[in-house]
């Protein structure tokens, strides 16, 4: 937990738009962070947009965007976000204007958190902020990215990568996942879930989930596994076996597993573990239940199992996670 990053309320987010900016990526930070509020409705983030020189830039959707700020906005931002681009030097030859690179490096050196959505990773890499780091971008641009930036440890198979003060996401909806991840990291699951509800999006997808899921158009709701997933969510405190889920969906185990993976990108066992971990996270944040009791309520059975899986997914032990929340 990087709770120190959320101490300034509202936390100042600067979105840096360059020529060819992807329209959805441009709007995502304002939408998600703008929806993040306290229980009393107080905004947790203040989002503003800038361009080099405060000049209009063209979007990939066929319209121009006129910002309210120039690069000076990055001088005081707590978080800087670079949305994806579909044109320009960063994609063509791996370079970026010196003034942009200098502004990004200065913000990072000053202590700001720096993020990219989709092909915005090309901009961060061109500025030298991804050298030697793990990162991701849209899977379709991975070969070009590797060719231009061989020193970056690119993983095109995940939704997002959190490497401390530098975070990158895959394309399109993965930018929403990254922003919600940041809200959850800064302010906890309750705040992230409230923001997700306001945005009408799923509250959490694991950053390590596959970017590309081969999924045919469903022939009808009877063939899906959504109802069974909801059924299983209501029974996380109980042993839920694969055969039980298949029986609920009225499918054979083999057919159910195939449908489940095509719809979620995960096996039923992986998905259940993800749901149990998230439920344990919420209980740690919002209740005074003992870790032993949380292990039971989340379906892990033993404290040792909870500790093992929680640390593997969240990065800290359950007790340390709870203490970090209480200290915030």
Q: Which residues are catalytic?
A: 118
8 A C-beta contact, residue 297 and residue 283: yes
Two structure tokens written together for 103: 């502004």
Q: What's the CA gap between 81 and 15, in Å, rounded?
A: 5
Q: What's the CA gap between 126 and 13, in Å, rounded?
A: 21
Q: Which pairing describes strands 113-116 and 166-169: parallel, antiparallel, or unpaired?
A: parallel
Bond prior to 10 in cis (omega within 30° of 0):
yes
The dihedral sign for the CA sequence 86, 30, 62, 53: negative
Two structure tokens written together for 37: 């509020």
Q: What's the CA gap between 129 and 124, in Å, rounded?
A: 5
8 A C-beta contact, residue 84 and residue 22: yes
Q: What's the CA gap between 272 and 308, in Å, rounded?
A: 15
- For the chain, the residue count is 328
| Nearest CA among 204, 152, 178 for reference residue 83 | 178
The string of DSSP codes covering 156-167 is: TTSSEEEETTEE
Distance from the Cα of residue 175 to its chain's centroid: 6
| Nearest CA among 125, 147, 126, 123 for reference residue 134 | 125
State the CB neighbour count (10 A cutoff) for residue 53. Answer: 10
State the CB neighbour count (10 A cutoff) for residue 154. Answer: 23
Q: 95 by DSSP, 3-state: which? A: coil
Q: Taking the CA atoms of the chain, what radius of gyration do you get in angstroms?
A: 21
């Amino acid at each position: 937990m990087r709770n120190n990053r959320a101490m300034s309320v509202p936390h100042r987010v600067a979105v840096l738009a360059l020529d060819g900016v992807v329209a959805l990526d441009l709007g995502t930070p304002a939408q998600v962070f703008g929806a993040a509020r306290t229980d009393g409705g107080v905004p947790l983030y203040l989002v503003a947009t800038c361009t080099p020189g405060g000049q209009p830039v063209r979007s990939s959707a066929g319209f121009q965007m006129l910002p309210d700020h120039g690069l000076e906005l990055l001088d005081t931002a707590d978080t800087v976000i670079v949305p994806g681009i579909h044109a320009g030097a960063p994609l063509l030859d791996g370079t970026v204007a010196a003034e942009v690179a200098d502004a990004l490096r200065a913000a990072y050196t000053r202590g700001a958190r720096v993020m990219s959505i989709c092909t915005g990773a090309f901009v961060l890499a061109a500025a030298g902020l991804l050298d030697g780091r793990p990162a991701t971008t849209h899977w379709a641009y991975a070969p070009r990215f590797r060719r231009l930036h061989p020193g970056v440890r690119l993983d095109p198979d995940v939704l997002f990568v959190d490497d401390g003060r530098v975070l990158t996401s895959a394309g399109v909806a993965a930018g929403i996942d990254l922003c919600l991840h940041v809200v959850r990291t800064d302010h906890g699951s309750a705040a992230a879930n409230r923001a997700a509800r306001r945005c009408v999006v799923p509250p959490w997808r694991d950053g390590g989930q596959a970017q590309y899921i081969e999924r045919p158009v469903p022939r009808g709701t009877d063939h899906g596994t959504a109802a069974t997933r909801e059924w299983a969510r209501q029974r996380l405190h109980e042993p839920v076996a694969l055969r039980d889920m298949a029986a609920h969906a009225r499918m054979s185990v083999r057919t159910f597993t195939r449908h489940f993976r095509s719809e979620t990108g995960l096996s039923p066992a992986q998905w259940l573990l993800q749901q149990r971990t998230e439920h344990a996270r919420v209980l740690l944040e919002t209740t005074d239940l003992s870790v032993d009791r949380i292990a039971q309520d989340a379906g892990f059975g033993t404290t040792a199992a909870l500790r093992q899986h929680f640390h593997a997914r969240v990065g800290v032990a359950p007790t340390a996670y709870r203490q970090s929340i209480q200290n915030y």
